[in-house]
Amino acid sequence: MSVTHDEVRKIARLAELDVAEEALPVLAEQMSRILEYVAQINAVPASEGVKPFIPGPDAVRFRPDEVKPSGLAFGPAELAPAFKDGFFLVPKLGAFEEPEL
Amino acid sequence: MPHGGSWETVIGLETHVQLRTASKMFCSCSAAFGAPPNTNVCPLCLGLPGALPAPNEQALKLAVRAALALSCTVHPRSLFARKNYFYPDLPKGYQISQFEQPLSTNGALSYLSPDRGVVTATIVRLHIEEDAGKSLHDRFPRQTAIDLNRCGVPLVEIVTGPDFRSPHEARAYLQTLKQVLEYAGISDCDMEKGSLRVDANLSIRRVGQSALGTKTEVKNINSFAYVEKALTVERDRQMAVLEAGGTITQQTMLYDSKTNAVRPQRSKEESHDYRYFPDPDLPPLVLSEEFIAEQQTLLPELPAKKRERFAAQYALNMTDAAVITAERAVADYYEAVVHAGADSKTAANWVMTEVLADAKDHGEALRVPPGALANLIGLVRGGTLSHQAAKRVFAEVAERGGEPRNVAEALGVVQVGDTGVVAGWVSEVLAANPTEVTRYKGGEVKLLQFFVGQVMKVSRGKADPKLVQKVLEEKLAA
Amino acid sequence: MSDPSEALASAKAAADRISKAKRLNACLTPIKDLRKSLVAQAQAAHPSGVLYGMPVAVKDNICTLEFTTTCGSKILGGYHSPYEASACAKLKAAGALIAGKTNCDEFGMGSSTEHSAYGRSLHPFDKTRVPGGSSGGSAALVAAGAVPAALGSETGGSVRQPASLCGVVGIKPTYGRVSRYGLVAFGSSLDQIGVLGRSVHDAARVLSVISGRDPRDSTCEDRDSLRLPTVPESLQGFVIGIPKEYFPTDLDPAVRRACDRAIRLLKELGAAVREVSLPHTAYAIATYYIVAPAEASSNLARYDGARYGPRFNGSEDVRALYRTTRGEGFGAEVRRRVMLGTYVLSSGYYDAYYRKAQQMRALIAQDFRNVFDRGVDLLFTPTTPTPAFKAGEKLDDPVSMYLSDIFTVTANLAGLPAISIPIGRVKGLPLGGQIVGQAFLEDEMLEAAYALERVVPALEEA
């Protein structure tokens, strides 16, 4: 299972991760090696009709619709790297991108 | 409005509706609208390390009721799924939604199409998800401001099939959807406040063609009126392109209400791959038959049924029934007035005129209690008040409250319905106008109104004109 | 202990011992801050709590109010959590003292604590070797005698494996036994907070306190906290299975000798021992290395420099902020796993990898059920294929590092409880043996562990 450099670039974009061009060959090779290793599960045919195993409770429990204090020892202003007038601040969307609506 | 040539418009709608809960979908923060930014937040809706979701019971109940109100099949087992993408107002980097096993599918909603009469839209699915926060792009230069108050508010997503054949139909469906969801107490469905949001898919094809044309997604539609305008503009754009021999590019079009135009959204490098997978933090959503049945019983009588029932039970025509049942609060009010003893037709007239007009000017408040209105209607019927006088009393009770009878007396508009007193005034007038009496008896029956007028004058407007006329007729006949 | 002066003495002594163990780079909390905090905590601690005055170190991927939570990563450098994990709240309610944060592989991803952004931790007995991972800091601190117990976390063996390599006890509870609220998520369907301790008793006591229902974690079962069994006189009536797939022909002979000795002792204690089979064991690592990275890729999407943590460089636009923060803030192993996870969930690959792995997982869980349904109570296996390896030995090939989890991942995949206790030495290095129990039957597992611990010559060469 060989992962191409292009695929690595595409996955890096999906994962919002900077990958230096020089790092691409090693990363592609490592990913290929790992994917080749894990692909061996396809050798097991018997799992076709099997339902996935989900550990934990069989059914989710629901919480009463009550407003409760946040449990925060301090607020967003102290957490945020950039904060103004009550808002978190991040750099603007790039020129190529339009706000989602 | 028939469009030129032989094109058929095909529209599908995706609606996001905020559920009326006190707390958010997966945490106990307040879901209320309008708080100062980033004050209704907690570890989960801030996307802090280690935070986990705990789903809201009331949100589930409302979602199931919404599904039942739209005749969907509610699935006893469904899964929450993560929709993974990066955006400033999505703090976890994923939205908790439903994908492969949604809460409900296969519903329907009938509405009145302006072109085709009563039509049924298919509801492909209704599922539960959480809302994202808000990004403000213009508040600070070169930066985006993020408010996470809205992040995590419970939503249902309602997806129709490609069932609408005109922008007008799309709007009519949405208005019916809003009505049904309001009736069922699911949501305020307020497009201004963002508790109802619509995205549309639109394509066109030649009449008779069965395959669908390439569709575009239309977004940034902020009111019901704009739904119609935006879709009209996009439809016309597609028609122009195809008639000029071009092809439609599948893309997202943004509607600009100021210019009444659509333009393509500048796209990111590639379309989203959301990498949906079942959320490992949330076990399966399992509903018992009893639970689903209970939600069904908690649904009120829905608009279509209520409209039919009012028409039959209260002898109203369909148009009047539709007006009175347009909003549940008004329908309930009307019935309360009738149950308090008012004649159903008279009550209908009053509700459609005075009550709704007053409500419109006062933030939709139904200010006159149903019992008082019934009372008022009785006073008119019994001759104690003229209709004009009753309207004055209505306005007074709406503004300052009080018992209609007392208010009428205080205003001095109570009619005298005592036959003896009226007879006295009649006699007075007839005695004062012997010439006219002779002329009347000679055949000038029009003079009756003159006498009525004179009696009204003598009684300072207090006499019941109907009774006056009756007594006059009797005395003049004698 | 119920006297405030004793708690204070305990606090100061713990600070001294942790300070002495500084060279291990196991504790990430600066000693001055730690000492100050321990004293303050001792003064505020609940005297009637069952763990009153007990210093318990906490792995740095578990949120605490007293100290920063970095998860061994630059991307959370200096991060102060504004809330604490439910497990920490429970510890404090029982009177325990939070004795600093311990080093770990970044976000729990690793088996050697070499993948920490804050330097590797040293093996307590041989500084050229690793203490295991990802809870290597916690294991090293307990093994060095600095604290009697420490919290760690498990996704594929990250408590048991370092316990085995460092010669301490490590317990992984049943999935859903301990709340994950405040445990920084890696592989959500696999993660559990576990405990490292000097002895089964110390570790179990702490596990009991942190276990039990928590409405804030939807995957935590609605159960009372774990009831601790007494030390049994014998293991008469216990049936212990020995899964043949965990004793391959190429198993290190010293490891085999140590296990054989332990098995013999179990028999002498009165247990019936029989060979069993878990046929899908060979696919466990592959299954794990699809499921865990997939969930991790989603769980780590929140680390983007926007709302907390450090920002890397002035970025012109928000995507650049994300990419730079994550590209520079995450270490190589984390980046690799996030990429892998993103890949196996992506369109076109989801069915072949993720969906298939979930089905494999069901088969692996079924293997255990089949064995337990046939009258077997517990399983005994080696914990690790070797004792502690040298630092740097497995860094070149990620797959070879992954294979050191070979005996531990199955319990995480099946959601079962498991414990590693020291069973011997190999050329002076500690080695653990593992007991795997049935879901929510930790008490039986602990009974066997208590009994074995008393008789096994853990300090003797195998």
**Residues of chain C with C-beta less than 8 angstroms from the C-beta of B48:** 81-83, 302, 308
Q: For residue range C32-71, list pLDDT tens digits in order.
A: 999 999 999 999 998 899 999 999 999 999 999 999 999 9
Contact A86 B147 (CB under 8 A): yes
Q: Which of C236, C262, C151, C247 is nearest to C202 (CA)?
A: C151
pLDDT digits (tens, 9 = 90+) for B201-259: 999 999 999 999 999 999 999 999 999 999 999 999 999 999 999 999 999 999 999 99
Q: Mutate which of A53, A87, A89, A90 to test chain B, going by most B C-beta atoms within 10 A?
A: A87
CB spacing of B92 vs C294 below 8 angstroms: no
B49 touches chain C (CB under 8 A): yes
Cβ within 8 Å of residue B478, ≥6 positions away: none
* Residue range A15-65, pLDDT digits in tens: 999 899 999 999 999 999 999 999 999 888 765 677 788 899 999 999 999
Top-confidence residue, C307 or C4: C307
User: Which residue from C207, C206, C223, C204 is spatially nearest to C215, judged by alpha carbons?
Assistant: C223
- Taking an 8 Å cut-off on Cβ atoms, the answer to whether A47 and C360 are in contact is yes
Q: Which one from C37, C59, C81, C199 is the annotated catalytic residue?
A: C59
Relative to beta strand B134-140, strand B73-74 is unpaired
Rounded CA-CA distance C196/C142 in Å is 7
A81 touches B: beta carbon within 8 Å = no
Q: What is the pLDDT of residues B166-202, one digit of tens each?
A: 999 999 999 999 999 999 999 999 998 899 999 999 9
* Residue C63 to residue B50, Cβ atoms within 8 A: yes
pLDDT of B1 over the 50 cut = no
A49 Cβ under 8 Å from any chain B Cβ: no
C219 to B46: CB separation less than 8 angstroms, yes or no = no
Q: Is residue A91 within 8 angstroms of chain B, CB to CB?
A: yes
**Pairwise CB contact (< 8 Å): B84 & C298:** yes
ipTM field: 0.96
Query: Considering chain C, what is the average pLDDT of its residues?
Result: 96
A58 in reach of chain C (CB within 8 A): no
Active site residue C5: no
Residues 6 or more apart whose Cβ sits within 8 Å of residue B34: none
Q: Which of A67-76, C1-10, C358-367 has the lowest mean pLDDT?
A: C1-10
pLDDT value at residue A47: 56
Domain boundaries A5-45, corresponding CATH code: 1.10.20
B288-308 pLDDT per residue, tens: 999 999 999 999 999 999 999
Q: Which helix (H) or strand (E) holds B154?
A: strand B154-160
> Vertex B302, ends B297 and B306: CA angle to 5°?
120
Restricting to A residues 27-56, those with a Cβ less than 8 Å away from any Cβ of C are 27, 30-31, 33-35, 37-42, 44, 46-48, 50-56
Element at A32 (helix H, strand E) = helix A24-38
* Percentage of the residues of chain C whose pLDDT score is greater than 90: 93
Q: If we measure between CA atoms, which residue out of C230, C237, C189, C204 comes closest to residue C361?
A: C189
**Predicted local confidence at residue C372, as pLDDT:** 98
Domain spans, chain A? 5-45
Interface of C with B in 248-277 (CB under 8 A): none
Contacts of B332 (CB under 8 A, 6+ apart): none
Contact criterion met (CB < 8 Å) for A11 and C342: yes
Beta-carbon separation of C219 and B94 below 8 A: no
User: What is the per-residue pLDDT across B35-55, written as a single tens digit (0 to 9) for each?
Assistant: 999 999 999 999 999 999 999
Residues of B in contact with C182 (CB under 8 A): 50
- Say if the Cβ atoms of B285 and A59 lie within 8 Å: yes
What is the reported pLDDT for C396?
81
State the pLDDT at residue C4.
85
Q: Are C396 and C388 in contact (CB under 8 A)?
A: no
Ordered structural domains, chain C, with CATH:
1-280+361-462 (3.90.1300.10), 285-351 (no CATH)
Summarised one tens digit per residue, pLDDT across range C218-276 is 999 999 999 999 999 999 999 999 999 999 999 999 999 999 999 999 999 999 999 99
Tallying the residues shown for chain B, one arrives at 478
Chain B: closest CA distance from residue A54 (Å): 8
A-chain residues near B43 (CB < 8 A): 70-72
> pTM value?
0.91
As a whole number, mean pLDDT of residues A60-73 equals: 97
Res A50: pLDDT: 77
pLDDT at B467: 86
CA distance B201 to chain A (A): 15
**Per-position DSSP letters for B280-336, written without gaps between them:** TTS--EE--HHHHHHHHHTS---HHHHHHHHHHHTT--HHHHHHHHSSHHHHHHHHH
Sole residue written with tokens 């209320």 = B32
Residue holding tokens 């247990």? C271
Contact residues, chain B, for C71 at CB < 8 Å: 49
How large is the average pLDDT for residues B135-161?
95
Contact call for C347 and B273, based on CB within 8 A: yes
pLDDT at residue C425 in the model:
97
Interchain CB distance below 8 Å, C338 and A17: yes
d(CA B421, CA B417): 8
Q: Where are the domains of chain B?
A: 7-291, 301-411, 419-477
Residue-level pLDDT at B3 = 46
Q: Which of C219, C322, C350 sits opposite B86 (nearest CB)?
A: C322
Q: Output the pLDDT for position C315.
A: 76
Per-residue pLDDT at B4 exceeds 60: no
What's the angle, vertex CA C376, arms to CA C371 and CA C381, rounded to 5?
80
Partner-chain residue, chosen from B49, B88, B92, that has the shortest CB–CB distance to C69: B49
Per-residue pLDDT at B478: 74
The chains in contact with chain B, meaning 3 or more Cβ pairs closer than 8 Å, are A, C
CATH fold of the domain at B419-477: Arc Repressor Mutant, subunit A (1.10.10)
Candidates A59, A61, A66; nearest CB to B28? A66
Tell me the chain C residues in contact with residue B282 when contact means C-beta distances shorter than 8 Å.
218-219
State the pLDDT confidence band at B267, using cuts at 50, 70 and 90. Answer: low
Summarised one tens digit per residue, pLDDT across range B340-392 is 999 999 999 999 999 999 999 998 899 999 999 999 999 988 888 888 889 99
Rounded distance between C-alpha atoms, residue B249 and residue C425, angstroms: 70
What percentage of residues in chain B have a pLDDT greater than 70?
98
Which residues in chain B have Cβ-Cβ distances shorter than 8 Å to C319?
86
The b-or-e profile of C35-68 (16+ CB within 10 A means b, else e) is bebbeebbeebeeebebbbbbbbbbbbbbbbbbb
Residue C213 in contact with partner chain A when CB distance is under 8 A = no
pLDDT of the residue at B393 = 94
Q: What is the mean pLDDT of residues C191-220?
A: 98
| Candidates C10, C111, C121, C158; catalytic one | C158
Is the model more confident about B456 or about C158?
C158
Question: B154 to chain C nearest CA, in Å?
Answer: 17
Which residues of chain C lie closer than 8 angstroms to A93, CB-CB?
317-319
Q: Give C83's contacts in chain B (Cβ within 8 Å).
A: 43, 48, 50
Q: Tell me if chain B has a CB within 8 Å of the CB of A21.
A: no
Distance from CA of C322 to the nearest CA of A (A): 6
pLDDT digits (tens, 9 = 90+) for C323-356: 999 999 999 999 999 999 999 999 999 999 999 9
- Whether the CB of C187 is below 8 Å from some CB of chain A: the reply is no
Active site residue C59: yes
- The residue-averaged pLDDT of C148-166 equals 98
> Three-state SS string across chain C, please?
CCCHHHHHHHHHHHHHHHHHCHHHCCECCCHHHHHHHHHHHHHHCCCCCCCCCCEEEEECCECCCCCCCCCCCHHHCCCCCCCCCHHHHHHHHCCCEEEEEECCCHHHCCCCCCCCCCCCCCCCCCCCECCCCCCHHHHHHHHCCCCCEEEEEECCCCCHHHHHHHCCEEEECCCCCECCCCECCCCCCCCEEEEEECCHHHHHHHHHHHECCCCCCCCCCCCCCCCCCCCCCCCCCCEEEEEHHHCCCCCCHHHHHHHHHHHHHHHHCCCEEEEECCHHHHHHHHHHHHHHHHHHHHHHHHCCCCCCCCCCCCCCCHHHHHHHHHHHHCCHHHHHHHHHHHHHHCCCCCHHHHHHHHHHHHHHHHHHHHHHHCCCCEEEEECCCCCCCECCCCCCCHHHHHHHHCCCHHHHHHCCCEEEEEEEEECCEEEEEEEECCCCCHHHHHHHHHHHHHHCCCCCEC
Q: What is the mean pLDDT of residues C69-98?
A: 98
CB proximity C88 to B under 8 Å: no
> Long-range pairs for C450-453 at CB < 8 Å and ≥24 separation?
C450/C200, C450/C201, C450/C229, C450/C231, C450/C232, C451/C231, C451/C232, C451/C234, C451/C235, C451/C269, C452/C262, C452/C265, C452/C266, C452/C269, C452/C421, C452/C423, C453/C169, C453/C199, C453/C200, C453/C421
A56 has a chain B CB within 8 A of its CB: yes
Q: Which of C81, C111, C134, C164 is catalytic?
A: C134
Question: Tokens in use for B302?
Answer: 């829905």
Is C134 a known active-site residue?
yes
